[in-house]
């Protein structure tokens, strides 16, 4: 197959690059480093109107080349226009892999592209690596939750290119950043001739509840065992500048809004500290928080699965332990005042 390079869709909305793009660029940089082929690079694909100035931040986060398609019809995201242009770029440039963030836009866009160019797509991936057997030097092994999150499956696409995947935000590290780094800018002259089938009438911003838990550094998360006592989580979180999150069970019982749900069907978080209170630790939940830097689990069941991913496990009733924790935090803060 005459394909090369790992392409990353550089999603931007309102002239702002999405954070997941930096995670994908960093990961692509690691993948290309492990591919023993000359001239195998990381290429970011940037679509929009008057967006060329965004190329500098893409270079700093790992892109070797940025392909820019600048067109008035790309000012706002359009399923048809974006899919048309990206398919045109893929057919022209022939990338070996194409990575897209599993955002609302990415989940809408990726399967349409895969169907049009007749290739496979692994959706909502949590891990990517180059074939560890060494048999196929550019073959991606892509891991994602399967069977409702009860196990993980590793998927390969041996016969079609590009290899495509959407990757959940916050499961990869955006750890490549070189200030002042530059690269090659390629202008792609796209052809958008068809009449738009969708016309914008009005944009209504989505209402949110408090802060974005995906960006929080300290999270107190409650499960079924905390139903009726989420005020204890709020108190502790407020004391240390943290936020409150919840498992799906707690959300389904009306204890917390969907915006703060952690897990496979919620958000993926990567805080410095994650305190899981009354959460059993089903795979569906741990898939959204097991990359946290430090995990403390409090659960009455000594056999709870959450203890298998925790750095520190406390067997006990979180409803009784959290008030004691709040008192201790207050005592330390007063002593240091």
Q: Is the peptide bond before 37 cis (omega within 30 degrees of 0)?
A: no
Q: Has residue 200 been placed in a domain? A: no
Tokens read off for 240: 């240390």
Q: What is the pLDDT of residues 140-168, one digit of tens each?
A: 999 887 766 567 888 898 889 999 999 98
> Cα–Cα distance between 59 and 140 in angstroms, integer?
23
Contact 142, 154 (CB under 8 A): yes
In this structure, are 294 and 239 located in the same domain?
yes
Higher local confidence (pLDDT), 107 or 212: 107
Q: What is the CATH number of the domain that holds 325?
A: 3.40.50.1220
In this structure, are 158 and 31 located in the same domain?
yes
Q: In the prediction, which pLDDT does 150 show?
A: 64
Model's pTM, two decimal places? Answer: 0.80
Contact 67, 44 (CB under 8 A): yes
Q: What is the CATH number of the domain that holds 51?
A: 3.40.50.620
Q: What is the pLDDT of residues 87-130, one digit of tens each?
A: 999 999 999 999 999 999 999 999 999 999 999 999 988 889 98
Is the pLDDT at 16 greater than 80? The verdict is: yes
In this structure, are 183 and 309 located in the same domain?
no
Average pLDDT value for residue range 269-291: 90
Q: Has residue 192 been placed in a domain? A: no
Q: In the prediction, which pLDDT does 278 show?
A: 93
In this structure, are 313 and 182 located in the same domain?
no
Is the pLDDT at 137 greater than 90? The verdict is: no
Q: Quick one: how far is CA 59 from the chain centroid?
A: 20
In this structure, are 180 and 33 located in the same domain?
yes
Q: In the prediction, which pLDDT does 210 show?
A: 63
Is the pLDDT at 209 greater than 70? The verdict is: no
Name all contacts of 320-328 with Cβ < 8 Å and 24+ positions apart.
322/229, 322/232, 322/233, 322/235, 322/236, 322/277, 322/298, 323/232, 325/236, 326/232, 326/235, 326/236, 326/239
How many domains does the chain contain in total? Answer: 2
Contact 186, 67 (CB under 8 A): yes
Per the structure, the complete domain to which residue 65 belongs is given by: 4-187
In this structure, are 64 and 169 located in the same domain?
yes
> Cα–Cα distance between 54 and 50 in angstroms, integer?
9
Mean pLDDT rounded to a whole number for the chain = 90
In this structure, are 56 and 166 located in the same domain?
yes
Q: What is the pLDDT of residues 18-73, one digit of tens each?
A: 999 999 999 999 999 888 787 889 999 999 999 999 999 999 999 999 999 999 88
Last residue of a domain, one of 187, 221, 246: 187
């Amino acid at each position: 197959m005459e394909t090369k390079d790992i392409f990353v869709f550089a999603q931007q909305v309102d002239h702002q690059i999405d954070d997941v793009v930096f995670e994908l660029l960093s990961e692509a940089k690691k993948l290309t480093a492990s591919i023993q082929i000359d001239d195998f690079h990381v290429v970011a694909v940037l679509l929009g109107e008057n967006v060329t100035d965004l190329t500098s931040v893409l270079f700093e986060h790992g892109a070797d080349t940025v392909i820019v398609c600048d067109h008035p019809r790309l000012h706002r995201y359009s399923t048809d226009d974006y899919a048309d242009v990206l398919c045109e770029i893929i057919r022209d440039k022939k990338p070996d892999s194409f990575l897209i963030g599993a955002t609302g836009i990415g989940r809408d866009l990726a399967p349409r592209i895969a169907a049009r160019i007749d290739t496979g797509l692994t959706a909502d991936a949590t891990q990517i690596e180059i074939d560890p057997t060494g048999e196929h030097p550019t073959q991606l092994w892509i891991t994602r939750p399967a069977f409702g999150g009860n196990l993980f499956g590793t998927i390969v696409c041996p016969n079609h290119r590009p290899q495509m995947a959407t990757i959940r935000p916050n499961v990869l590290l955006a750890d490549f950043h070189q200030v002042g780094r530059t690269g090659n800018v390629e202008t792609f002259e796209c052809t958008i001739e068809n009449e738009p089938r969708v016309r914008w009438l009005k944009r209504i911003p989505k209402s949110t509840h408090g802060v974005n838990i995906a960006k929080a550094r300290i999270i107190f998360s409650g499960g079924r065992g905390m139903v009726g006592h989420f005020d204890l989580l709020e108190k502790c979180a407020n004391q240390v500048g943290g936020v409150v999150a919840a498992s799906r069970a707690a959300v389904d019982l009306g204890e917390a809004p969907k915006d703060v749900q952690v897990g496979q069907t919620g958000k993926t978080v990567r805080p410095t500290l994650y305190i899981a209170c009354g959460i059993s630790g089903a795979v569906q939940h741990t898939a959204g928080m097991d990359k946290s830097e430090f995990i403390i689990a409090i659960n009455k069941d000594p056999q709870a699965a959450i203890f298998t991913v925790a750095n520190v496990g406390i067997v006990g009733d979180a409803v009784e332990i959290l008030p004691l924790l709040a008192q201790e935090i207050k005592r330390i803060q007063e002593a240091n005042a």
